[in-house]
Every structure is written in C-alpha cells, then in structure tokens.
C-alpha cells in the first residue's frame, strides 16, 4: 500500500479520535483517552509490528514518517485541549473579576490566547517588564496598599519609562466585595504616598507623564500598550510582604478588549 496513504490514514484516525471524544464529552476525558489510545495503537504498529509487515508496507526510512506525524498531531491536539480547558476556567472565573467589558465580550476574548499569572514574584516581574518595554501607555489599577511606590528600584524603572515618553496611569482604591471598610488613616496614607510620587515625577520634567487618580472597583489590572491586559485581584503596588501568593490573574491578548478597557479607565478618570 502507498506509504502516503498510510500517513494520511494515521492522521485522520487520530484527529477523528480527539474530535469525536471532545464532541460528546466536554470534560475532554473521553477525548484524551480515545485520542491517546489511537496514538498508542499507531505507535505500536509503527515501531513494533512494522518489522513484520515491512516488506508489504514500508521500505527503508519511510517508517519514520508515520512516527513524526503521530508526534505532531499529538502535540497540536494536546495544546488545543489545554487551551480549551483554560478557556473554561476563565469563563468560570469571570464573575470574580467583576469587569463589565470582560463579561460582555467573553466569547470574542477567548478566541485569542489567554494565560494565567500566579505568585507575587511573577506579578512583580510582569509589572517591571511592562514599565521597561512599553512604548506608549501603561495602566496600573491597584488597591489601597501602595508602599511599593516608595521603593527606589520602582522609581528608577518608572523614571526610565517616563523618559521614553510613555504615559503612565495609576488608579487606586480597588477593593474586593465583602472585605471590611478601609480606615480613613489608610486612605490618607495612600493618597500622600502617591501624591509624593507625582511630585517626584513632575520635578523631573520628563517627556512622559504620570497621572494618579482614585478608581474604585473590585478588580485590579495591568495594561501595556495594546499588547496585553492582566486582570485579577492582586495589588500591583503593594510590597511583597502583603501580597497574596495564591492570587490568580488572567493575561488577555485580545486587542479590542485591551483598547476598550484601557480607554475606559483613562478617559473615565478625566471626566
């Protein structure tokens, strides 16, 4: 039989196995076992039984092609299954994020890749990277804890960002529903800390500009240009000691959402 026919048959049967399983079992368990089962069969056929039927089917190095195809299809289907599962988790988490734009456009947003961000170290690295690499705009929505704004390293990185002409917007005051009311002294301290940061930036007379404003809500955010928006509950400007290491944020790459969310925040505080 023509080797190309066998290669095509292998690809079709593996793909059918995954698609059939996903069609009737949205948890993807059947898809996984059915798809992997077919892959296992072809692996056994290719690498074990091939010696018996070599005279009738393949000759020489042709035996390697079905194996390569199996690996490629396995990788692509596994990646698609992971993305589908992540989309399901994202949709289930939308209510916690408390973002109207996100809720209204969820079906469009998940058409583009999404990812998760967890642990305060990874959040901090993402914040620093955004300030170091942004070309036009950085938006930071944080809570009432903003002690990181006094950090020398943060100010140095922020200064470099403003020197490049980037506009940086910092909104504060986000608070999760169900938490106790913030004390007046905390609010006063937050306001003074950010006012001090504003004054420090104004005196430098850089090309870029820092704007600080009160922005109440339940979801914090980090937006870099039109490249990504990170939505979650982490306090971006809190020091490491008070960060919740279990806090989960979502990295969204849908450009329409990023622009709409960015403009909503930036234009909203100017009204």
User: How far is Cα 20 from Cα 31, in angstroms, rounded to an integer?
Assistant: 7
- 57 lies in the same domain as 124: no
Tokens of 34: 């059915």
Residue 129's domain comprises: 97-268
Confidence bin at 218 (pLDDT 50/70/90): low
- 132 lies in the same domain as 255: yes
- 121 lies in the same domain as 162: yes
User: How far is Cα 136 from Cα 170, in angstroms, rounded to an integer?
Assistant: 15
User: How far is Cα 115 from Cα 92, in angstroms, rounded to an integer?
Assistant: 14
β pairing state of 248-252 and 114-118:
antiparallel
Confidence bin at 107 (pLDDT 50/70/90): confident
Mean predicted lDDT score pLDDT of the chain: 78
User: How far is Cα 218 from Cα 209, in angstroms, rounded to an integer?
Assistant: 26
- 117 lies in the same domain as 84: no
* Lowest model confidence (mean pLDDT) among 29-33, 77-81, 112-116, 230-234: 29-33
Confidence bin at 135 (pLDDT 50/70/90): very high
With a CB cutoff of 8 Å and minimum separation 6, the contacts of 241 are none
Sequence-ordered strand ranges (E) for the chain? 114-118, 137-141, 167-172, 210-214, 220-224, 228-232, 248-252
Confidence bin at 48 (pLDDT 50/70/90): low
- Of 39, 66, 92, which residue constitutes the final position of a domain? 92
Higher pLDDT, 157 or 42: 157
Q: Which residue has the tokens 């909203």?
A: 268
> Across residues 157-164, what is the average pLDDT?
96
> Across residues 108-119, what is the average pLDDT?
90
- 122 lies in the same domain as 199: yes
Taking 60 as the threshold, does the pLDDT of residue 23 lie above it? no
């Amino acid at each position: 039989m023509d080797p190309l026919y066998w290669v095509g048959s292998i690809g079709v049967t593996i793909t059918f196995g995954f698609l059939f399983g996903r069609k009737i079992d949205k948890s993807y368990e059947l898809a996984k076992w059915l798809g992997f089962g077919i892959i296992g069969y072809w692996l056994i056929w290719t690498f074990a039984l091939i010696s018996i039927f070599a005279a009738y089917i393949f000759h020489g190095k042709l035996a390697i092609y079905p194996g390569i195809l199996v690996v490629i299809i396995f990788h692509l289907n596994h990646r698609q299954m992971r993305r589908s599962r992540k989309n399901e988790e994202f949709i289930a988490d939308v209510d916690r994020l408390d973002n109207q734009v996100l809720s209204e456009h969820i079906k469009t947003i998940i058409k583009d890749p999404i990812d998760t961000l967890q642990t305060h170290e990874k959040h901090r690295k993402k914040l620093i990277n955004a300030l170091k690499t942004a070309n036009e705009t950085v938006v930071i929505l944080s809570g009432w804890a903003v002690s990181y704004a006094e950090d020398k390293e943060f100010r140095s990185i922020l200064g470099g960002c403003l020197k490049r002409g980037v506009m940086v917007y910092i909104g504060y005051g986000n608070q999760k529903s169900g938490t106790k009311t913030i004390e007046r002294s905390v609010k006063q301290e937050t306001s003074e800390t950010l006012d001090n940061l504003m004054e420090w930036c104004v005196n430098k007379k850089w090309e870029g500009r820092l704007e600080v404003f009160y922005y109440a809500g339940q979801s914090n955010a980090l937006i870099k240009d039109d490249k990504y928006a990170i939505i979650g509950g982490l306090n971006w400007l809190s020091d490491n000691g008070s960060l919740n290491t279990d806090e989960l944020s979502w990295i969204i790459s849908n450009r329409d959402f990023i622009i709409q969310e960015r403009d909503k925040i930036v234009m909203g505080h100017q009204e």
